[in-house]
Amino acid sequence: MRTASWSKKVLYFLFFLSGICGLVYEVLWARYLGLFIGNTTYAHTIVLASFMLGLALGNLFFGKMADRDVNHLTCYAWLEISLGLFAIITPNIFLWQMPVFSALGKTAPIGSPILQVLKLALSFPVILLPAFLMGGTLPLIAKIFIHGLGNVKNEVAKLYAFNSFGAVAGALSSAFFLIPKFGLDFSVSIAAVTNIAIGVAAIALRSTLRPPVQAAVLSHGQEIIPSESVANHQMRIALITIGISGLTAMFYEIAWFRLFALVLGSSTYSFALMLAAFISGIALGSACLTNANWRFNRLPAYTLLALAETGIGLSVAVSMPLYERLPYYFGQINGMIVHAPATFPVYEGIKYFFCFMVMIVPTLFFGMTLPLVVRLFSRNPVYCGQSVGKVFAVNTLGAVLGSLLAGFFVIPAFGLKGTFLIANTINAALGGLLLFTGNVFDGKRFKSLLCLLPVIATAGIGCLTPPWNQIVFTRGTFRGQKIYTDFEAFKAAASWKILYYRDGAQSTVTVSQDSRGMLSLFVNGKADASTDNDLKTEILLGHIPLLLHREPRQVLNIGIGSGITCGAILAYPVENLDVVEISGEVVEASKLFKDHNRAFYLDPRVRIFNEDAKTFLILTPSLYDVIVSEPSNPWMSGVASLFSKEYFMGVKSHLKEKGIFAQWFHTYEIFL
């Protein structure tokens, strides 16, 4: 018995390691796609959607397999080993994709939606297969631990928590340790070897664990039903709820990430910390369900699910009025810290805690929902593998749809505040529906009124909350160190007005004008161009390479910004100027600088391509006399790929003989 108990603890640890590897792969695959076919939101969404769809299919397929008479630990072990072996070759597969994408992509116009379909078609199978294998791990390993209906919720919650805590460690280790120290290829190898080691260790444990229930558990010819009787229509409602809950979870995740990018800065480290904080809350929520002594946990699962969904909606609604103050709060903290290499870990730890405290309550409730629905669907321990797989698959498919809708439609159409309002109203409505169809209240009229209250309260708080102050979110407090007496003083210190503000698919773009008439362009809260401090750089970046070239005719400018560099280039007798910009909102915003950029967008010599620079360089056949590159700072998420070896090789391949390449790079804020 002691040996079996020890073996289970080892298996929990192995599943924790598996969670680390899964998140590391997701991060690394996104980086590889960024290197070879660009860093657009579309490319990242392709990775995320492919990854989650693979998980869903794996949940379904291996969930059914788990209920068969197989050696579950052996199957789990071979899933981990197969995943590791396949992962080792993924860098080469991504490398082989580039010439294929180049050959096929040249048949479509640059910036065309067809290119996004092609990226999906090429990357989909590469990511889908390993994600499919990952999706099978939870149903198989859950079957090992579940020996009766009494421990379904606890064991699924415990396994989900261990795996999620592993994902937290994977998010942090990939950003702060693996990629900086070992690079992409070796990081993949480390994760792959870890998966193989997990599989080998699982095989070694086979003789120490008793097999799960394989024969139907019957009482008087009927399946044993849990003590909480759930009607078929309630089970259908619970399944629909978990799917929609997955959708809203992605709404919140993407909206929070965009919000925190304005508050903390959109660095790679910040995004890793946001992801870690988000998953931490989910892991803690699952862990809460394993505490049988907690009174809240003794409620029926259907009632708990209703309270969890209601709690998600209400907690976000109540916190929304505070979101406007987040830049002020973080600015106050930032002003107390000495920024130096020695204080970097402390600074990043504070950022993690800041994100965690904002997201903890709703993510805690999110972490409860999956194990609760699994408990509702588990009517016979023989078929619990199928129950686990089905519930997780529906939730993951909802998340796939949520990631697509949030990034491409909801945020651009309704903004960040509108996205939060839509999501928390949906969660409150789900909670109300569950309460209405549950057995908590008696009396139809009373029940209807009581169940509508969460929806009315959530929507009411959101609608009555005044529009967020756009100036506050463009302050870039993550770059300043000034401490203010209160929030009103913080707002009053900004003496400019907003001329343009858009929450786009790629980023939040703002143009402001101060009392002197100076214009500034902000991308995710960071100033990227202006008509004052940055003006010399913007002008010289266009003039210097054009002056050095004897006969500049064909010119490429990567990154529009304010468009002032484009205006400087057009002062010369160039025949064509191709301009590549990843963000359509930046293209629109640059038109407000028409008095400084010669209204370059109206010049017949100019062609503007709304596309990622890497994709453009892969697909364009054009050669240029001068190429000017002016991306943002490399610490900004996604921008580092425009300072990579692959990018510079792509630029070189498009320069004519004696062509000139001019690259902007900052010398400030660099510690040597």
Domains and CATH numbers, the chain: 1-213 (1.20.1250), 229-494 (1.20.1250), 535-663 (3.40.50.150)
* Of 220-229, 363-372, 392-401, the least confident: 220-229
Instruction: Identify whether the C-beta of residue 625 lies closer than 8 Å to the C-beta of residue 554.
Output: yes
- Residue 354, classified by CB atoms within 10 Å of its CB into exposed (0-12), middle (13-18) or buried (19+), is buried
Q: How confident is the model at residue 469 (pLDDT cuts 50, 70, 90)?
A: confident
Confidence of residue 599 (pLDDT cuts 50, 70, 90): very high
Query: For 223-227, 292-296, 522-526, which range has the lowest pLDDT when averaged over its residues?
Result: 223-227
Report how far residue 311's alpha carbon sits from residue 288's, in angstroms, rounded to the nearest whole number.
15
What's the rounded Cα separation, in Å, for the pair 483 and 489?
10
Highest-confidence segment of 227-236, 376-385, 609-618, 619-628: 619-628
Q: How confident is the model at residue 223 (pLDDT cuts 50, 70, 90)?
A: very low
* pLDDT confidence of residue 468: 85
The residues, any chain, with a CB within 8 Å of residue 306's CB and separated by 6 or more, are 431, 434, 435, 438, 440
Compute the average pLDDT of residues 233-247.
92
Give me the chain's average pLDDT, please.
85
Confidence at residue 343, expressed as pLDDT on a 0 to 100 scale: 86
| Torsion of Cα atoms, 358 then 261 then 46 then 392, to 10° | -10
Does pLDDT of 221 surpass 50? no
For the chain, what percentages of helix, strand and coil (3-state, to nearest 5) are there?
70, 10, 20
Name the band, by pLDDT with cuts 50, 70 and 90, for residue 41: low
Q: How many Cβ atoms are within 10 Å of 652's Cβ, its own excluded? A: 12
pLDDT tens digits, 138-166: 888 888 877 655 556 677 888 889 999 99
Confidence band for 460, pLDDT divided at 50, 70 and 90: confident
Residue 296: is its pLDDT beyond 80? no
